[in-house]
Each structure stands twice: as C-alpha cells, then as structure tokens.
A and B are shown apart, each in its own frame.
Chain A
Amino acid sequence: EVQLVEFGGVVVQPGGSLRLSCAASGFNFEDYTMYWVRQLPGKGLEWVSLIRWDGDTTYYADSLEGRFTTSRDNSKKFLYLQMNSLRIEDTALYHCAKATRAGDCSGSRCLFYGMDVWGQGTTVTVSS
C-alpha cells in the first residue's frame, strides 16, 4: 500500500524553527517528484513546495519569502520541510504528497498530472 506519514508538527513561538518529516512506503520513492501542501485553519489548500526526484531542483511559493527549505533522502525514503522564521500565518496542517507519475520533469511540467497520494498531515501551530 502506498503510504505517506508526516510528523514533526508542534506548537512553536513566532520566529522559531521546525523540521517536518514525511515517511514514504509502498512505492519507489526515488522515482517521484514530491510536494508539500498546507491547509490553513478553516480555509483551503496552499501549495508550499516541490522537489524533483533527484533532490536537485526545488520550487517554493513566493509567499514563503525563502524561509522554508525542502529536501529528501531517497535512501531512507524521507521527505523534509525545514521551516525557519515561523510566523503566525504559517499555522496550518501540512501534508506531503507524491506526483501522480514517476520520472523526470522540468519546470511546470512537474505539476501537470497532479498529486495522487497525500498524507494525513501534521499540525504546525505558531503562537506566543
């Protein structure tokens, strides 16, 4: 069974840092582009980042202003989101998700087929 499980979400003060992890199983993790998407309280979905299968190329939402970094360890089948200078507006449920199709892609073509499997999410609360 294809599965993604996120963890690492906690309550953190504004200005703090946090690293989220996503454990993948049931598929060839190293073949897939991966994403982070957050769900704001009572609101909709916001794409956070994308990392290609090889980990060499990443894309981020402009609204993050360079505060977040996505990485992956293909040998361990883990995806990470390093979050720095956290703000109250970063409070959300953070999901990791996998690309629908395996293989190489470039630029926006990495988005085309959507995200077929998502994790349940881990909650990050930024509060003083």
Chain B
Amino acid sequence: DIQMTQSPSSVSASVGDRVTITCRASQGIGTSLAWYQQRPGKAPKLLIYAASSLQGGVPSRFSGSRSGTEFTLSISSLQPEDFATYFCQQTNSFPPTFGGGTKVEIK
C-alpha cells in the first residue's frame, strides 16, 4: 500500500495567516492526490483533486501543488470557517490511502 505521511499533525494559526500542510507519498503517484476538509461533527468535503484542481464552490484562498512525491495544501488567508482538520488522499491505486490529518486550530 502507498503510505501518505502528512505534516504537521496540528498547527495553531490566526485569522489572516497563511497555512501550509504537506503530504508525502511513499512512492510516485503522479498528480493523483485529493485534499479534504472536515469540520467537527461534519462530513469531509473535497477541496482539491488531481493535486491542484480546485473543486467547484471552494474559495480561491485554497490551493494545491506538487513537487515529485510531495504535495502541499495552502490556505492563503485563514478565515474563521477554515479551522478544521485536513486530510490528503492518494487516488492513484488501490487501496486509496489517506494521510493522518492536520488539525488547524485557533491561536
């Protein structure tokens, strides 16, 4: 199975800050990566697919990028509704594995 190592596991930030979350795949997956947001008590929500394609309706402050097997989710200016847990998922091969999650907390 492809292992997805996500870091950091948590980050404290303030409204307006730029936040960056990283996922590293244990082997090459091309651009087959998705990012999800999960607010407490809610279902996960797709933010980014194919490493950098913004899902419809997702604010443009979210962006995704790739460098080799390292993938980054950036939030350019953190908003109150962005405090949540974020997961990456490789969508290259079975089983589609998830990263361990990053909790973005209010500083």
Contacts and interface: CB of A to CB of B under 8 A. Distances in A.
B96 A47 contact: yes
A118 B45 contact: yes
In which size bucket is the chain B interface?
20 to 34
A69 interface: no
- SS of A interface (majority): mixed
Given A95-B44, A119-B43, A121-B43, A114 B101 contact: no
Contacts of A111: 32, 91-94, 96
Nearest to B34: A114
Nearest to A63: B95
A27 interface: no
Given A44-B99, A47-B96, A112 B32 contact: yes
A48 B39 CA distance: 22
Interface residues of A, number: 22
Nearest to A111: B91
Interface in A21-63: 44-47, 59, 61-62
Interface string B67-107: 00000000000000000000101011111111111000000
A74 interface: no
A96 B46 CA distance: 14
B101 A44 contact: yes
A115 interface: yes
Contacts of B50: 112-113
List the 9 shortest-distance A-B pairs measured between CB atoms, nearest first.
A114-B34, A118-B43, A111-B91, A45-B98, A114-B49, A116-B46, A108-B93, A111-B96, A47-B96
Interface of B: 32, 34, 36, 42-46, 49-50, 55, 87, 89, 91-101
